[in-house]
């Protein structure tokens, strides 16, 4: 068996190796060691790999190497046709892959571009018409450009489906089929997926020719630099536990995982009402909204990012100090994937999991998979006084749509606003009629709940009706 313990051992172009070293990488990951030699030989690959395994370099480095004989310094667009197509399910992942490709090809004449929806097509059109050898795209936007004749796929030599399982989950199968039908029959095809369902295997059967299965055993071992903590509470106390963790630990950034997009929306709104700068990413948000939320989180404009597993796939957040599982994940493998967001590159990290009695089986499955017991702790659920919730006219923070141009008040501003206009106890009391009110009306009103004070409108209708007699 060949030794691929160093990037020099693959036979890659020295310019590509130099670019990789400039990024600080010295040793290939397991998926890279297995995939790069196969792709260099021109074989089709079916890769089982999750985000964070280094799969982008595993397919892009050998593809770039194979394209270098066609590289040209000419300014003519005709000398720069699309020769490699990389399809990704979301704008975030496409953008991340495109950044990697540009970095790897930085010392070569090869051009690359990325196209995705939710933004103006004109800059993308200009880049495509200038000519690019490597095109990274989301399926829908690529079809838009193809329909507008902004590019052609007639000279594509290699195509990659990245995170194919997620593309199918998002309903991209018809778009993918249309795109594949536009490609030359003689080409190299690569497909990477975190899972291989029957639907994925069927797609692979139609898409790949005699593929080599490149599978990296799921790393069920969690990083030693990540402290794993379990917070056991009643189901009704989960929100209080999250608030306590955010209160007691001064992490600059926290990624909070939930199992459903409706839970992501609700939790983000509640944290905002509690005065915690928060954004969320989930399937109901557009690509542009997800990108803005992620950018705000990376820039430190918000402290907490609430995410679902699907929406978080492909996110690359460096130096993330803490992850909180507000919901225990459905699968133990997802737990490993979630907490792998922190403690990267040898840095310290903490992963909190908030669990109720209903989660006992899931927690046991996680501990069995990672072969260790998660450290239990207790938190003080006695919360400080909650900040007054903003009215609808004031907006509801990031998740409720600010009316202040998106500017966050200075720290303490919301509390000052609340104390400046306290709620008068008068408005909390039942209606008491004045001396001039009829006695029977006052008695009826005093005995009724506050919500019934509007009932006299019915009587007015009766009086109007009587006036017509």
* Whole-angstrom distance, CA of residue 302 vs CA of residue 279: 7
CB atoms within 10 A of CB 436: 5
**Coil, strand or helix: which one is 188?**
strand
Averaged pLDDT, 267-285: 91
Nearest alpha carbon to residue 325 among 229, 218, 233, 235? 229
Of all residues in the chain, the percent with pLDDT exceeding 70 is 77
**Coil, strand or helix: which one is 468?**
coil
Q: Does the pLDDT at position 323 exceed 50?
A: yes
Per-residue model confidence (pLDDT) at position 362: 94
Q: Judge contact between 78 and 70, C-beta under 8 A.
A: no
Residues β-bridged to residue 255: 305, 323
* Whole-angstrom distance, CA of residue 69 vs CA of residue 223: 41
Nearest alpha carbon to residue 204 among 222, 216, 190, 183? 190
* Whole-angstrom distance, CA of residue 88 vs CA of residue 192: 10
Q: Judge contact between 240 and 354, C-beta under 8 A.
A: no
Per-residue model confidence (pLDDT) at position 199: 85
Per-residue model confidence (pLDDT) at position 369: 86
* Whole-angstrom distance, CA of residue 103 vs CA of residue 22: 9
What homologous superfamily does CATH list for 7-215?
P-loop containing nucleotide triphosphate hydrolases (3.40.50.300)
Torsion of CA 306, 311, 312, 313, to 10 degrees: 170
Q: Judge contact between 82 and 113, C-beta under 8 A.
A: no
Per-residue model confidence (pLDDT) at position 48: 86
The answer to whether domain 226-406 has CATH 3.30.499.10 is no
Give the DSSP letter string of 255-302: EEEESSHHHHHHHHHHHHHTT--EEEE-TTS-HHHHHHHHHHHHHTS-
Q: Judge contact between 334 and 261, C-beta under 8 A.
A: no
Per-residue model confidence (pLDDT) at position 382: 77
Q: What is the pLDDT of residues 388-422, one digit of tens each?
A: 444 333 333 455 443 333 333 343 333 333 444 45
The continuous run of DSSP H or E covering 433 comes out as none
Q: Does the pLDDT at position 446 exceed 90?
A: no
For the question of whether the overall pTM of this predicted structure is more than 0.85, the answer is: no
Min mean pLDDT across 11-15, 23-27, 368-372 is at 23-27
* Whole-angstrom distance, CA of residue 139 vs CA of residue 87: 7
Per-residue model confidence (pLDDT) at position 217: 60
Instruction: Report the side by side order of strands in the sheet with 304-308.
Output: 278-281, 304-308, 254-258, 322-325, 349-355, 226-232, 375-377
CB atoms within 10 A of CB 199: 13
The continuous run of DSSP H or E covering 401 comes out as none
Q: What is the pLDDT of residues 28-75, one digit of tens each?
A: 988 999 999 999 999 999 998 766 678 899 999 999 999 999 999 999
Give the DSSP letter string of 320-346: --EEEESS--SSHHHHHHHHTTSSGGG
C-alpha separations of 266 from 159, 174, 220 in Å? 39, 33, 31
Q: Does the pLDDT at position 25 exceed 50?
A: yes
Average pLDDT, the chain: 82
Q: Judge contact between 117 and 101, C-beta under 8 A.
A: no
Fold match flag (7-215 vs 226-406): yes
pLDDT tier for residue 257 given thresholds of 50, 70 and 90: very high
**Coil, strand or helix: which one is 156?**
coil
* Whole-angstrom distance, CA of residue 274 vs CA of residue 398: 12
* Whole-angstrom distance, CA of residue 57 vs CA of residue 219: 19
Per-residue model confidence (pLDDT) at position 439: 42
- Cα dihedral 404, 410, 416, 418 sign: positive
* Whole-angstrom distance, CA of residue 444 vs CA of residue 408: 47
Q: What is the pLDDT of residues 290-318, one digit of tens each?
A: 888 988 998 899 999 999 886 676 666 77
* Whole-angstrom distance, CA of residue 335 vs CA of residue 369: 10
Nearest alpha carbon to residue 309 among 258, 263, 366? 258
Nearest alpha carbon to residue 59 among 160, 131, 146, 132? 160
Averaged pLDDT, 120-126: 96
* Whole-angstrom distance, CA of residue 133 vs CA of residue 17: 19
Min mean pLDDT across 71-80, 216-225, 389-398 is at 389-398
Averaged pLDDT, 174-182: 95
Domain boundaries, the chain: 7-215, 226-406, 422-460
Q: Does the pLDDT at position 324 exceed 50?
A: yes
**Coil, strand or helix: which one is 137?**
strand
């Amino acid at each position: 068996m060949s030794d691929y313990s160093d990037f020099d051992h693959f036979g890659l172009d020295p310019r590509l190796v130099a670019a990789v070293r400039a990024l600080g990488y010295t040793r290939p990951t397991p998926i890279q060691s297995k995939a790069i030699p196969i792709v260099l030989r021109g074989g089709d690959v079916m890769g089982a790999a999750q985000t964070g395994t280094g799969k982008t370099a595993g397919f892009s480095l050998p593809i770039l190497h194979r394209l270098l004989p066609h590289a040209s310094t000419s300014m003519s667009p005709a000398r720069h046709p699309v020769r490699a197509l990389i399809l990704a399910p979301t704008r975030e992942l496409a953008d991340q892959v495109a950044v990697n490709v540009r970095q790897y090809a930085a010392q070569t004449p090869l051009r690359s571009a990325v196209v995705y929806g939710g933004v103006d097509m004109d800059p993308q059109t200009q880049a495509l018409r200038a000519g690019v050898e490597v095109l990274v795209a989301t399926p829908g936007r690529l079809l838009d450009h193809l329909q507008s004749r902004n590019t052609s796929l007639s000279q594509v030599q290699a195509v990659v489906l990245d995170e194919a399982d997620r593309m199918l989950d998002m309903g991209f199968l018809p778009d993918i089929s249309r795109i594949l039908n536009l490609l030359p029959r003689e080409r190299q095809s690569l497909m990477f997926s975190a899972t291989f369902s029957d639907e994925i295997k069927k797609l692979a059967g139609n898409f790949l020719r005699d593929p080599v299965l490149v599978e990296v055993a799921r790393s069920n071992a969690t990083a030693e630099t990540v402290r794993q903590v379990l917070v056991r509470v009643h189901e009704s106390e989960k929100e209080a536990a999250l608030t306590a963790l955010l209160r007691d630990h001064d992490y600059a950034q926290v990624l909070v995982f939930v199992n459903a997009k409706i839970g992501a929306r609700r939790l983000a709104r509640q944290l905002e009402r509690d005065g915690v700068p928060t954004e969320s990413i989930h399937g109901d948000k557009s690509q542009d909204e997800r990108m803005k939320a992620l950018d705000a989180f990376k820039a430190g404009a918000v402290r907490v990012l609430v995410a679902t597993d699907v929406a978080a796939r492909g996110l690359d957040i460096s130096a993330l100090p803490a992850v909180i599982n507000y919901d225990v994940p459905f699968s133990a493998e997802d737990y490993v994937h979630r907490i792998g967001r922190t403690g990267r590159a040898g840095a310290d990290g903490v992963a909190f999991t908030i669990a109720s009695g209903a989660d006992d089986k899931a927690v046991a499955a996680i501990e069995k998979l990672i072969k260790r017991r998660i450290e239990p702790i207790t938190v003080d659920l006695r919360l400080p006084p909650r900040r007054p919730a903003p009215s609808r006219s004031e907006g509801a923070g990031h998740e409720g749509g600010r009316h202040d141009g998106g500017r966050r008040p200075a720290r303490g501003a919301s509390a000052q606003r609340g104390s400046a206009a306290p709620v008068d106890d008068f408005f909390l009391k039942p209606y008491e009629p004045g001396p001039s009110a009829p006695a029977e009306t006052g008695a009826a009103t005093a005995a009724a709940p506050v919500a019934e004070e509007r009932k006299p409108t019915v009587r007015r209708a009766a009086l109007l009706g009587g006036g017509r007699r």
